[in-house]
């Protein structure tokens, strides 16, 4: 018995040593070997950058730069003249400082994560042309955003992403999107009626409105009806909970892979888990209601939700990558709910703010809209069609310029899942590539000395003629990860803005505070407050 006890203890000791050795080797690989391999490959190609410490990388440098620059460069907390340039300095100031120190390409580190910042137009072009699945959303970022986006199309990678894109992208092709014009117009006219009623009741015929709230509701109503066959009222709880989750999760440390331990029972982590469950339960209820409705009347709606349901039920290739049908449905619905309303509402808000600041352009766009839409300002609808909307050239230029100065997405992020060639550079496997979109959109060498000014005329001959390197204009992303809803979003924006501008004029409220901030997207921190009156 004594011998057996000794043998057992010896076995446990060996097992413990083996386990500890395995863990130690994994830690050495993660924190030492992999980072050194990546940095060595980049260094040999002439890429420099701030020197990292062993376990923290450049985290302390980032914190120091933010503490020094943010108080100086953050947007004003009081109302006053609007600057389109000052706020940019407060968006990831460490990236902008290092760009001044090391040029348009450099490496930095956050713990064990190694990053390459790219601000060179020729390399952005190479990224745009790269078609393989060896580039995708950074893995740690997908994991961190899982509560909000799951494994849906925005954050999925590899074959799983490719298959989801093949299923979803056709639903946003131009011939499908143009069938949604009447729906977009109807939803917009409902909001217009609300504003007109408020104006009738107002003193002086002027409203001081937080327009971003109404535009968010409008965009949510459109995406709900177009993609899910339900009204905003039915999906209101989903949107409100997704926005609450966005607020809790909007931290720079999440974006760059800084410590963010989700399993700790902190108040924010508990809040995220609660919101995640509630959102998923609400989406599954929408799905269940649709399925029961189909069984009851024997008819299937031809919207995006029905396509997702049919694909999840019948596609054998889908089951190869996504094993739980409900998970596929819920994740992609979350992606569409989030991406389909927030970015469009923000773009409309920033555009109206810019037109409020530039009344001469507001008048041009209004005159064009009234001319193209006809005399329907007092009618319940204008019977819009694709040809009419495509002829709104002034409005198109204004929207493009607005999305240049205030792009909804602030960063473009990619991870190399294999060693890949990017121009003259070999990008090592495991490296995260970053570009700061506001910096690309305001580069004076590309856009000219007036790059910080609102000048829609630069887009008079299209994006290809607006600057030296049009591949750096990426409000909808770039390459294979280009937003599948781009056609839908642009059509929605033009309809919303043309109808609003043909009926109302906009100017800045004296209570407006210009303070764009990063909260997963570029949002007005204090809301978009404008004065609205009838034309």
Q: Which two tokens stand for residue 260?
A: 């963010």
* Banded model confidence at residue 380, pLDDT cuts 50, 70, 90: low
Domain range list for the chain? 30-133+410-453
For the CA atoms of 158, 164, 165, 168, the dihedral, rounded to the nearest 10 degrees, stands at -170
Domain 30-133+410-453 - what CATH class? alpha beta
C-alpha–C-alpha distance, residues 261 and 374, integer Å: 57
C-alpha–C-alpha distance, residues 106 and 141, integer Å: 21
Per the CB < 8 A criterion, the answer to whether 348 and 408 are in contact is no
* Banded model confidence at residue 28, pLDDT cuts 50, 70, 90: confident
Predicted local confidence at residue 72, as pLDDT: 42
Largest distance between two CA atoms of the chain:
100
Residue 74 clears pLDDT 90, i.e. is over it: no
Mean per-residue pLDDT for 349-375?
A: 94
% of residues, the chain, pLDDT over 90: 49
C-alpha–C-alpha distance, residues 409 and 474, integer Å: 9
C-alpha–C-alpha distance, residues 491 and 222, integer Å: 12
**Residue 464 exposed, middle or buried by CB count within 10 Å (0-12, 13-18, 19+):** exposed
Predicted local confidence at residue 75, as pLDDT: 47
C-alpha–C-alpha distance, residues 449 and 319, integer Å: 53
Q: How far is CA 212 from the centre of its chain?
A: 17
Mean per-residue pLDDT for 63-68?
A: 85
8-state DSSP, 407: -
* Banded model confidence at residue 384, pLDDT cuts 50, 70, 90: confident
C-alpha–C-alpha distance, residues 466 and 473, integer Å: 9
Q: How far is CA 508 from the centre of its chain?
A: 26
CB atoms within 10 A of CB 399: 25
Mean per-residue pLDDT for 355-380?
A: 87
Instruction: Quote the strand ranges of 219-375, DSSP E.
Output: none
Task: Tell whether residue 20 is among the known ligand binding residues.
Answer: no
Reported as a single tens digit per residue, the pLDDT across 160-192 is 899 888 888 888 888 888 889 999 999 999 999
8-state DSSP, 89: G
More confidently predicted of 355 and 252? 355
Place of tokens 């404008």: 530
Residues 6+ apart with CB under 8 A from 43: none
């Amino acid at each position: 018995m004594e011998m057996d006890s000794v043998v057992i203890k010896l076995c446990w000791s060996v097992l413990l040593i083996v386990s500890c050795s395995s863990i130690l080797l994994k830690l050495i690989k993660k924190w030492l070997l992999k980072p050194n391999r990546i940095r060595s490959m980049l260094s040999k190609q002439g890429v420099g950058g701030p020197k990292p410490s062993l376990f923290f990388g450049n985290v302390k440098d980032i914190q120091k730069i933010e503490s020094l620059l943010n108080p100086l460069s953050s947007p004003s907390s009081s109302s006053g003249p609007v600057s389109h340039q000052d706020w940019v300095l407060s968006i990831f100031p460490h990236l902008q400082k290092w760009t001044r120190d090391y040029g348009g390409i450099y490496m930095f580190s956050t713990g064990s994560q190694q990053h390459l910042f790219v601000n060179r137009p020729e390399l952005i072009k190479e990224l745009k042309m790269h078609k393989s699945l060896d580039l995708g959303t950074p893995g740690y970022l997908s994991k961190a955003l899982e509560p909000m986006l799951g494994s849906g199309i925005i954050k999925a990678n590899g074959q799983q992403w490719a298959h989801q894109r093949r299923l979803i992208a056709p639903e946003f092709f131009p011939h499908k999107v143009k069938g949604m014009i009447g729906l977009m117009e109807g939803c917009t006219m409902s909001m217009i009626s609300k504003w007109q009623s408020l104006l009738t009741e107002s003193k002086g015929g002027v409203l001081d409105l937080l327009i971003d709230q109404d535009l968010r509701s409008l965009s949510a109503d459109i995406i709900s009806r177009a993609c899910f066959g339900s009204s905003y009222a039915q999906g209101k709880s989903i949107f409100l909970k997704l926005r609450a989750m966005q607020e809790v999760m909007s931290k720079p440390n999440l974006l760059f892979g800084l410590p963010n331990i989700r399993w700790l029972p902190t108040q924010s982590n508990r809040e995220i888990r609660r919101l995640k469950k509630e959102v998923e339960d609400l989406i599954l209820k929408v799905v269940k209601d649709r399925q029961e409705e189909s069984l009851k009347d024997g008819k299937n709606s031809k919207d995006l939700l029905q396509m997702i349901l049919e694909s999840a039920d019948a596609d054998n290739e889908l089951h190869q990558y996504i094993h739980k049908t409900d998970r596929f449905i819920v994740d992609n619905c979350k992606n569409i709910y989030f991406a389909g309303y927030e970015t469009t509402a923000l773009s409309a808000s920033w555009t109206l703010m810019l037109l409020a600041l530039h009344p001469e352009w507001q008048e041009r766009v209004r005159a064009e809209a009234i001319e193209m839409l006809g005399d329907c300002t007092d009618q319940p609808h204008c019977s819009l069609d694709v040809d009419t909307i495509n002829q709104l050239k002034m409005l198109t230029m204004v929207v493009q310029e607005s999305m240049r100065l205030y792009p909804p997405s602030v960063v473009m992020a990619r991870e190399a899942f294999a060693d890949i060639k990017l121009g003259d550079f070999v990008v090592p496997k495991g490296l995260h590539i970053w570009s700061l979109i506001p910096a690309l959109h305001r580069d004076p060498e590309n856009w000219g000395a007036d790059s910080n000014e609102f000048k829609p005329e630069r887009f008079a001959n299209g994006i290809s003629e607006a600057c030296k390197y049009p591949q750096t204009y990426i409000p909808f992303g770039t390459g294979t990860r280009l937003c599948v809803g781009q056609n839908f979003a642009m059509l929605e924006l033009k309809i919303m803005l043309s109808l609003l501008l043909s009926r109302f004029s906009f100017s800045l409220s004296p209570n407006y505070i210009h303070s764009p901030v990063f909260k997963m997207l570029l949002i007005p921190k204090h809301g978009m407050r404008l004065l609205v009156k009838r034309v």
